């Protein structure tokens, strides 16, 4: 994992946030689980399995935990080699984070990169690549937040 320096904090529109593509994040093998016709559209926070899962939590509540296996979010975790026990743990954590943000609002910051690792897909639309905070940004988007507080970081040389 790269060493980063945080150099400013901004309130960034959620529509300007994108998931990582390469080298440490989502690969082409997994993008069929994301919505959109282009890779840039698929990587937008509103097109991700994480966002869809948060929307389902908002609609179905805790009952989603009883039948989560068929969701695109869990399908993505399975492609990453996660087992059933991990998926239960992760969805419970997701629920706890969702519940906290819904009740108290989002407190804190996520981390985004000043310059995306894959320039081809994100820099052309003027957005930011999420480095740390994929779940929290998806939850905030599903709950109707327009912006999110972000620590903007660059790789330490």
What's the whole-number average pLDDT of the chain?
87
Angle between helices 49-60 and 84-104 (to 10 degrees): 70
Does the pLDDT at position 23 exceed 60?
no
Number of structural domains in the chain: 1
Tokens of 2: 């790269």
Whole-model pTM: value is: 0.88
Confidence of residue 84 (pLDDT cuts 50, 70, 90): very high
Residue with tokens 């919505």: 35
- Residue 155 CA neighbour count, 13 Å, CB half: 7
Residues ≥6 apart with Cβ < 8 Å to 146:
13, 14
Q: How far is the C-alpha of 95 from the C-alpha of 28, rounded, in Å?
A: 28
Does the pLDDT at position 93 exceed 70?
yes
Residue-number span of the structural domain to which 134 is assigned: 4-155
pLDDT confidence of residue 27: 62
Which whole number is the average pLDDT over 60-79?
Answer: 88
Does the pLDDT at position 147 exceed 70?
yes
Three-state DSSP state, 48: coil
pLDDT confidence of residue 64: 84
Exposed e or buried b per residue across 22-37, where buried means at least 16 C-beta atoms within 10 angstroms of its C-beta = eeebbeeebbebbeee
CA 156 to chain centre: 23
pLDDT confidence of residue 9: 93
CA 131 to chain centre: 9
Confidence of residue 119 (pLDDT cuts 50, 70, 90): low
Does the pLDDT at position 31 exceed 80?
no
Which whole number is the average pLDDT over 58-70?
Answer: 87
Which whole number is the average pLDDT over 88-106?
Answer: 95
């Amino acid at each position: 994992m790269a060493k980063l320096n945080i150099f400013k904090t901004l309130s960034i529109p959620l529509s300007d946030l994108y998931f990582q593509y390469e080298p440490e994040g989502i690969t082409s093998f997994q993008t069929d689980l994301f919505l959109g016709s282009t890779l840039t559209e698929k990587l937008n926070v509103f097109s991700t399995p994480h966002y869809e899962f948060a929307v389902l939590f908002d609609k179905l509540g805790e009952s989603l935990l009883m039948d989560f296996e068929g969701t695109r979010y869990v399908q993505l975790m399975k492609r990453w080699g996660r087992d059933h026990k991990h998926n239960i743990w992760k969805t419970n954590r997701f629920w706890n984070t969702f519940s906290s943000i819904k009740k108290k609002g989002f407190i804190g910051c996520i981390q985004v990169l000043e310059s995306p690792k894959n320039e081809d897909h994100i820099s052309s639309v003027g957005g930011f690549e999420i480095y740390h905070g994929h779940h929290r940004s998806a939850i905030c988007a599903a709950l109707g937040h327009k912006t999110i507080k972000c620590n903007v970081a660059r790789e330490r040389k």
